[in-house]
Amino acid sequence: MNYQAPRGTYDRLPQDSKAWEYVIRQFQSIVESYGYGEISTPMFEETELFIRSSGDTSDVVSKEMYTFTDKGDRSLTLKPEGTAGVVRAFNQHKIGAQGGIHRFWYFIPIFRYDRPQKGRCRQGHQVGLELLGSDSVYSDAEVIDITTKFYRALGIDNVTVFINSIGCENARKQYAEAILQHVATYLSTKDEEFNSKTRKNPLRLLDNKDPEIKELMKSAPKIDAYLSEHSKDRFNKLKQVLDTYGINYQVDSTLVRGLDYYNETVFEVTSDTIGAQSSLCGGGRYDNLVKQLGGPTTPSCGVAMGIERALLVMPEREYEQYNLDFFFVAATDSGMNKVIELSNKKRLKGYRCNFDLDFRNIKQQMKLAHRLNSKNVVIIGDDELTKSSVTVKNMENGDQLSISETEFLTNDVGAN
């Protein structure tokens, strides 16, 4: 029997990890420059948590969750998104009890039972951040600013953020009603499944790709008309602040989010180069979620960015070519002890060192050094042993020099 990774999952091998680590490092250094701290929550939570936060009509909850019952008969779910866990931890540890603003970042796997496709896996990975405790438009702007900085750091040019305001819950209800009225005649021609799906979340019609629906939605009412004065002012202020930041954005009044907890500002960055899964990240405000999950009133916003998708659109870049600084070669058996001694001393100084565990002949050892991409080879044979010296060979240009052992250990010869 040959085993393979479960459908929709993949192994990340060392050669893929350079790009991966680069992405994570960029994210981390950006969010840390804004004072965000890492939060790590369990990979699974009570199923109820996700149903309460994302909403039981969302596809994520209704058909994509990895839910299981443990031996204590608890219903648990591998997390399909990051926000719910952070908010749960925030409430559990009473972090918001004294008020104030709290900034978290995370890097997590997410699990969704869905048909695998380009940019879509059953175990995906996200980096994200949550800014809890501020209802200021400056908090929206900060999150959007970090998002654009992140993509720019990855070399993804001309990042455009699509933004929209979906207002407060009340406005959304009224607007949803208006949409339903607008499509009433059309709905009467469709089957029951489509009808019930549409009635549950009418706003999804806005970004539907069906040409017929697209045409129909052109004449549909716009959300602006249903926004409260407060929401409108807020959205206008946000646009001004984004201008101040110099952020490239575009208002898209059809932009809605699939998870129920969002309100007011929502945003997304897309790419047309990765096929159907064009969304690189999604975020927005969730002013009621903390309270809804049992905490204090805590207006908040956040964003989650898909790592797999970022990697798809990211331009190729050169990563460091060498995996080792020194590969030690023992020309004869008597050199082996010295090889171990010197490689360990160099390792303690932070150099990446290795040698042939099988101690084959010098030619084989050289080949191995080459294959392991070592910057230098250090040759230790009988000559070197009697002179207490080493021969250092630069593997790029083939230059070779003989230096004393002490000089080799104290100098940074061959380091660069």
Partner RNA sequence: GCGGGUGUAGCUCAGGGGUUAGAGCACCUCACUGUGGCUGAGGGGGCCGUGGGUUCGAUUCCCAUCAUCCGCCCCA
List of residues contacting RNA (CB under 7 A): 4-9, 58-60, 64, 81, 110, 112, 114-121, 124, 126, 204, 208-210, 257-259, 268, 275-282, 304-306, 308-309, 331, 361-364, 366-367, 369-371, 377, 379, 381-384, 391, 393, 395-398, 400
Check: CB of residue 78 under 8 Å from CB of residue 43: yes
Which C-beta is closer to RNA: that of 129 or that of 379?
Answer: 379
* Residue type present at position 242: L
* Residue type present at position 25: R
Contacts of 270 (CB under 8 A, 6+ apart): 160, 162, 278, 279, 280
Which C-beta is closer to RNA: that of 33 or that of 364?
Answer: 364
* Nearest approach, Cβ of residue 94 and RNA (Å): 27
In whole angstroms, what is the distance from residue 268 CA to residue 62 CA?
Answer: 23
Which C-beta is closer to RNA: that of 293 or that of 324?
Answer: 324
Of 39, 29, 18, 9, residue with least CA distance to 111: 9
Distance of CA 165 to the CA centre of its chain: 24
* Nearest approach, Cβ of residue 224 and RNA (Å): 21
Which C-beta is closer to RNA: that of 72 or that of 398?
Answer: 398
Q: Which two tokens stand for residue 182?
A: 């607008």
* Nearest approach, Cβ of residue 411 and RNA (Å): 19
Bridge-partner residues for 82, per DSSP?
A: none
Count the alpha carbons within 13 Å of 311 in the hemisphere toward its beta carbon: 20
Burial class (CB in 10 A: 0-12, 13-18, 19+), 18: middle
Check: CB of residue 329 under 8 Å from CB of residue 365: yes
Of 89, 85, 76, residue with least CA distance to 48: 76
Which C-beta is closer to RNA: that of 64 or that of 224?
Answer: 64
* Nearest approach, Cβ of residue 180 and RNA (Å): 15
Q: Is 315 left (phi over 0), alpha (psi -120 to 50) or beta?
A: beta
* Nearest approach, Cβ of residue 68 and RNA (Å): 16
* Nearest approach, Cβ of residue 172 and RNA (Å): 15
Which C-beta is closer to RNA: that of 253 or that of 296?
Answer: 253
Of 50, 91, 51, residue with least CA distance to 291: 91
In whole angstroms, what is the distance from residue 12 CA to residue 32 CA?
Answer: 26
Which C-beta is closer to RNA: that of 96 or that of 258?
Answer: 258
Which C-beta is closer to RNA: that of 201 or that of 296?
Answer: 201
Please count the other Cβ atoms lying within 10 Å of the Cβ belonging to residue 340.
13
* Nearest approach, Cβ of residue 178 and RNA (Å): 19
* DSSP-assigned letter for residue 120: B
Which C-beta is closer to RNA: that of 254 or that of 279?
Answer: 279
* Nearest approach, Cβ of residue 406 and RNA (Å): 18
Of 33, 27, 46, residue with least CA distance to 125: 27
Which C-beta is closer to RNA: that of 59 or that of 224?
Answer: 59
The separation between the first and the last C-alpha atoms of the chain, rounded to the nearest angstrom, is 48
* Nearest approach, Cβ of residue 186 and RNA (Å): 15
* Nearest approach, Cβ of residue 240 and RNA (Å): 25
**How distant, in Å, are the alpha carbons of 199, 205, 208, 379 from that of 215?**
19, 11, 10, 74
